[in-house]
Chains A and B, each alone.
Chain A
Amino acid sequence: MSKRPYTPANVPAPKRRLGVIVVDPLPVVRAGLGLLIDDRPDMEVLAEAGTALEGIEVIQRVRRTRVVVLVGLGLSGEGDAFWLIRTLRERFPSHAVLGMGANADPTAISRALFVGADGFVDKNIDPVEFLQALRKAANHEMVLATPSGVQVGQIAQGLDRRKEVEIKLTEREREVLIVAAEGLTAREIAARLGVRERTVTTHLARIYGKLGVGNRMAAIRAAARSGLVTVGTPE
């Protein structure tokens, strides 16, 4: 009897398969991952969802311990990917959560890690590597699986910038900055937050001082560079 060479595809199936939950807005991505994962003897897709809220719903119904949740960074609508990752970390801390993107930039990846992801996988990598990343995450190992080697340094720099912004600003100031980044006027920001316009301008002035910038555009740029807000799509 010939011995089969060891490759990841020949990993013997443990008694319990690794459960995967896929939350991604693209049906083709969910379908593709479903085929790829279910084809393996040691893992299976437990559920899938196309929005963050649906994701929470399906995860609530899962009764499993070894679970990896893949959160596509392109999620939008009521609750984005970062909201979902943060919520999963708070409500289902035993699940491993991986941010998933396509050529995501280091700032988006650092943002995912900051809000509590256990790692990040890029859709642009070899499928075998992708599956290995899932296994690692299920073993509670930190995972960074990106195409051209890991950009650990840049991701760490992104985290540095985020930490600085978070710590320098008060919670209220962060709120104001996040809303300001949508491009609203001071009056509109005040209306959104339910405060007086005067309050908003005071907050903005303090924000500029703390971030060492001179105007709103520069403040928004600093917010974007730190990952506090995402301008454009994170994917």
Chain B
Amino acid sequence: MDTPTIRVLVVDAHPVIRGVARLACEGSKDLELVAEAADAGEALNAVTALSPHVVILDLDLPDGGGRNVMVRLKEARYPGAVIALSDRSDGAAVLEALKLGVQSYLIKGTALRALADAVRRTAAGERLIDPDLEQGAVMELGRFARKAREGSETASMLTHREREILGHISEGLTMHQIGTRLGISPRTVETHVAKLYRKLGARTRVQAVARAATLGLIDLR
């Protein structure tokens, strides 16, 4: 019986890793490497043009290319599966990758030995991820949940005015500028700021901004 081959795209800045993927596919009758890409742009073009079943994606692509590719694949509702390759084994990295929608997560060193098998199993719908890595991600998820809850509790404590002022502080405005912007006296601004710092548990502007960013009340990006 003729089973259709699994079409594979490898995305990696490193020629050695692309070479490993090439060899893995050449050595397997059921895998076809349809293209190699070295950056996010080439990757997205290849996905659009060639519709691979599986994308082997190096998440450590320079300039956040790995994340970029995942975001664009999600927007385009890419129906295939992504195998993420990474050097990072910390919970935060794994959780971030799972959030972006990767199906399997493999560490570069160990994964490359059994890449063909990983592709096959991922294409068949299996989620390949080391149990320890998964637990790391789950623990990070717990931390994330707690931060989200604390962030929302703190946000609830802030008045509308205090939140406005917090935003302006993080933009770098002085008390005077904030006062002008909001149409209140600098003295009043100071009073609000004192209350705001107390609620955030901060003593300085920098602490306040850092705490607010940690809690997700402001976005520093």
Contacts and interface: CB of A to CB of B under 8 A. Distances in A.
B35 interface: no
Given A113-B145, A163-B148, A167-B216, A142 B99 contact: no
Interface string B114-157: 00000000000001000000110111011011101101100110
Given A150-B134, A160-B99, A171 B141 contact: no
A144 B134 CA distance: 10
Given A114-B149, A153-B98, 7 more contacts: A116-B146, A119-B142, A149-B127, A152-B138, A153-B102, A159-B145, A163-B152
Interface string A132-159: 0000000001111000011011011101
Q: Report, as a range, how many residues of chain B touch the other chain.
A: 20 to 34
Nearest to B157: A171
B141 A166 contact: no
Contacts of A167: 151-152, 155, 216-217
Interface of A: 110, 113-116, 118-119, 141-144, 149-150, 152-153, 155-157, 159-160, 162-163, 166-167, 170-171
B148 A162 contact: yes
Contacts of B146: 116
A156 B142 contact: no
A153 B24 CA distance: 28
Interface of B: 95, 98-102, 127, 134-135, 137-139, 141-142, 144-146, 148-149, 151-152, 155-156, 160, 216-217
B99 A156 contact: yes
B101 to A, nearest CB: 6
Given A166-B151, A167-B217, A152 B134 contact: yes
A162 B147 CA distance: 12
A119 B144 CA distance: 13
For the complex, would chain B's binding face be called helix, strand, loop or mixed by DSSP majority?
helix
A115 B95 contact: no
Contacts, number: 68
Contacts of A149: 127
B161 to A, nearest CB: 11
Contact of A152 (B137, B156, B217): B137
Contacts of A162: 148
Given A116-B149, A163-B216, A166-B148, A156 B98 contact: yes
A153 B101 contact: yes
Contacts of A118: 142
5 contacts: A119-B142, A142-B135, A156-B95, A159-B141, A162-B148
Contacts of B99: 153, 156-157, 160
Nearest to A143: B138
Contacts of B142: 113, 118-119, 142
Given A114-B145, A163-B151, A166-B155, A144 B138 contact: yes
Contacts of B152: 163, 166-167
Contacts of B148: 114, 159, 162-163, 166
Nearest to B155: A167
Contacts of B127: 149
A141 B160 CA distance: 38
A156 B138 contact: no
Nearest to A166: B152
A139 to B, nearest CB: 12
Given A142-B141, A159-B145, A153 B100 contact: yes
A12 B88 CA distance: 37
A156 B156 contact: no
Question: Which 5 residue pairs are nearest across A and B when measured between Cβ atoms?
Answer: A153-B98, A166-B152, A142-B142, A113-B145, A163-B148
Contacts of A116: 145-146, 149
A115 B142 CA distance: 11
